[in-house]
Amino acid sequence: MFETAELGRTLDKKTFAALEPQLRVRLLDVQERLRAAKVPVHVLISGVDGAGKGETVNLLAEWMDPRFISTAAFGPRTDEEAQRPFFWRFWRTLAPKGRIGLYFGSWYTEPIVERVFRDLKRCDFERRLRQIEAFERMLVEDGSLIIKLWFHLSKKAQRKRLEGLAKDKRTRWRVTAQDLKNLELYDRFAAVSEQALHVTSTGEAPWTLIDGEDARYRSVAVAEHLIETINKRLARGENQPASTSRKLVAPAAAPKVARGKKTKEVAHSAYKTILEAVDLSQTVDDDVYDDQLEGLQGRLAKTWRAAKQQRKSLIVVLEGWDAAGKGGAIRRVTAALDARDYRIIPIAAPSDEEKAQHYLWRFWRHLPPDGSVTIYDRSWYGRVLVERVEKFCSEDAWMRAYDEINEFEEQLIEDRIVVVKLWLHIDRDEQLRRFRERESIEFKSFKIGEEDYRNRGQWDAYLQAVHDMVERTSTTSAPWHLVPANDKRVARLEVLRLLCEALEKSSKD
């Protein structure tokens, strides 16, 4: 495939001088329109050493308004990055809506290099490419534009380029011993890179080859490609991504029954959901509770210390009805942990900064490093719960989220993170009793408001949403645990027990 980028294209100085001012005006124009349309653009600057990647990044920053461009360069992972999943550092640098992100090196660099040096098995390389494809598709479906540029040089041209840089006192610092070593492995780099590009050049995020031998031709080719691609994206309008080949399978509709001469849709509550199978009659005596609480907290402390020594991490996802007792359960968990080991992330409505990113962005930011715990008080499942029920996002968006969430959690588990997902379930009568109790106790009154009663009116819709969530995202490696919580003491003990069992199981794996 690289033969098409080895044709020796050139551009003379006079033609370049005539084109440059026009290109700069057009680039500034599409940049301004991007801001107005609130479309995020991610430009990947990848390819062979010496093909002009760095010069291109600098050129774009010069020709465009640098205030609305972010640049990220990726080399070997730092210690901080090595303690978290592969995509963590990329999520942190994603350009928000209306901005352009230039990525010098990208999520392709590490797997290609590791495969060339045989530090990554073929099956692991192919799995990483599949994850990359899913990552890019997720961004595109959320409205992003991904422009992937591969800067290419023939082996002869690369050698000439590196030798030229090394001879010039002003540029010799740019040529490293690793660059020269990579040159000797040119053919293997080409073969591995070609495989990566073939697999990940999709309809929604295709690769474009750039002949990097002539600087003037390269600059014009990149600028014209950016202008053309961005204009096509803007023509579709905000939040109108490229179509994809995936088919969305909608949840089953509520059954219909005959009502005389008319057919009426039965409410979701008229047939049984997974939550209605939870036994809420369980109780525990005070003395038994105290004894079991102490024992389970001690067990959790011990199992967590063992997991920490193995440099594992723990993520606890706590979801449930309003007033189901999530806060009380969290306090019993953290009482068994060293305060230096955990963070509690309460999730409310997204901020303006968070709204400018993909909905998973704010959760990636808080992933724990090795040997740490993150407890999410509500989580990414808001996409398929509150955002679905309240129609804060489209049906296509929350339907896509099931696969996106499963992919996200799969990556966490691959990185040796233990994921425990808990839904605290209570019935409607118990919720109403707790609401009224909160209103009558002064130091609890801040926990209750009109919003809680309004949400309560959507009970049946949430029942179905939780049912679909469990059905579609309860996987073998990250199952949902439905915790009976009408008795808060039962719920707290069950949460502790489930965390202990998950950590003990992980220690044996």
Domain boundaries, the chain: 2-236, 274-508
Tokens of 36: 């107005």
> Can you give the pLDDT at residue 162?
83
pLDDT range class, residue 239, cuts 50, 70, 90: low
Distance of alpha carbon 314 from alpha carbon 303, whole angstroms: 11
Distance of alpha carbon 102 from alpha carbon 63, whole angstroms: 13
Task: Kindly give, in sequence order, each residue whose CB lies less than 8 Å from that of residue 259, ignoring residues fewer than 6 positions away.
Answer: none
In the chain, pLDDT over 90 holds for what percent of residues?
Answer: 77
pLDDT digits (tens, 9 = 90+) for 41-52: 999 999 988 889
> Can you give the pLDDT at residue 173?
82
Start-to-end C-alpha separation, the chain: 43
Tokens of 264: 């009426």
Residue that the structure tokens 């291109």 belong to? 56
Tokens of 52: 């002009």
| Cβ–Cβ under 8 Å, residues 70 and 112 | no
> Can you give the pLDDT at residue 238?
58
Residue 299 pLDDT exceeds 80: yes
The dihedral region occupied by 320, where left means phi > 0, alpha psi between -120 and 50, and beta the remainder, is: left
Task: Kindly give, in sequence order, each residue whose CB lies less than 8 Å from that of residue 183, ignoring residues fewer than 6 positions away.
Answer: 49, 155, 158, 159, 162
> Can you give the pLDDT at residue 37?
95
CATH node for 2-236: 3.40.50.300
Strand 145-152 and strand 313-320: the pairing is unpaired
> Can you give the pLDDT at residue 159?
87
Identify which has the larger pLDDT, 438 or 424: 424
pLDDT range class, residue 456, cuts 50, 70, 90: confident
507 CB neighbour count, 10 Å cutoff: 14
> Can you give the pLDDT at residue 171?
79
Tokens of 482: 């439905």
Residue 261 pLDDT exceeds 50: no
267 CB neighbour count, 10 Å cutoff: 12
Q: What values do phi and psi take at 6, rounded to 5? A: -125, 35
Residue 338 pLDDT exceeds 80: yes
pLDDT range class, residue 485, cuts 50, 70, 90: very high
- Across residues 53-71, what is the average pLDDT? 94
Look at residues 236, 234, 241 and name the one whose alpha carbon lies nearest to residue 33. 234
Q: Tell me the pLDDT of the chain averaged across its residues.
A: 90
> Can you give the pLDDT at residue 74?
93
Task: Kindly give, in sequence order, each residue whose CB lies less than 8 Å from that of residue 325, ignoring residues fewer than 6 positions away.
Answer: 424, 426, 485, 488, 491, 492
- Across residues 96-111, what is the average pLDDT? 96
Residue 166 pLDDT exceeds 90: no
Look at residues 292, 308, 298 and name the one whose alpha carbon lies nearest to residue 500. 298
Identify which has the larger pLDDT, 294 or 448: 294
CATH of 274-508, one of 3.40.50.300, 1.10.3720.10, 1.10.260.40, 3.40.50.2300: 3.40.50.300
Residue that the structure tokens 């050493």 belong to? 49
Beta bridge partners of 480: 421
336 CB neighbour count, 10 Å cutoff: 21
Give the Cα-Cα-Cα angle 204, 207, 210 (nearest 5 degrees). Answer: 145
Task: Kindly give, in sequence order, each residue whose CB lies less than 8 Å from that of residue 167, ignoring residues fewer than 6 positions away.
Answer: none
pLDDT range class, residue 295, cuts 50, 70, 90: very high
Identify which has the larger pLDDT, 236 or 26: 26
> Can you give the pLDDT at residue 167?
84
